[in-house]
Structure 1
Amino acid sequence: MAKYRKKPVVIDAIQFKVIKEIPCLHGVAKEHNSMDIAKFMNVPFLKVPTAPNGTPEGRTYIEIETLEGTMQADLGDYIIRGVKGEYYPCKPDIFEQIYEKVEDGAA
Structure 2
Amino acid sequence: MPRFRKKPVVIEAVRLSRRITVHTLEGDMAGNPGDWLITGVEGEQYVCRDSVFRATYEPVDDEARALWDAPLPEAPDAS
| Structure 2 residue 47 is the aligned partner of structure 1 residue 89 | yes
Deviation at 1:2, TM superposition (A): 1.6
Relative to its length, the structure with more strand (as a share) is 1
Q: Give the superposed CA RMSD.
A: 1.3
Deviation at 1:82, TM superposition (A): 1.0
The separation in 2 between residues aligned to 1:83 and 1:12, in whole angstroms, is 8
Aligned counterpart, 1:3: 3
Deviation at 1:71, TM superposition (A): 0.6
Give percent identity, aligned residues only: 44
Relative to its length, the structure with more helix (as a share) is 2
Deviation at 1:101, TM superposition (A): 0.7
The separation in 2 between residues aligned to 1:6 and 1:68, in whole angstroms, is 21
Deviation at 1:89, TM superposition (A): 0.2
Which blocks of at least 5 consecutive residues in structure 2 are unaligned?
Answer: 65-79
Deviation at 1:67, TM superposition (A): 1.1
TM norm structure 1: 0.55
4+ residue segments displaced more than 2 Å: none
Higher RCO (C-alpha 8 Å, min separation 6): 2
Count of aligned pairs between the two proteins:
63
Deviation at 1:72, TM superposition (A): 0.3
Higher Rg? 1
TM norm structure 2: 0.74
**Per-residue CA shift, 1:46-80, capped at 9, x if unaligned?**
xxxxxxxxxxxxxxx10001110111001100000
The separation in 2 between residues aligned to 1:16 and 1:80, in whole angstroms, is 10
| Structure 2 residue 21 is the aligned partner of structure 1 residue 63 | yes
Which blocks of at least 5 consecutive residues in structure 1 are unaligned?
Answer: 18-31, 33-60
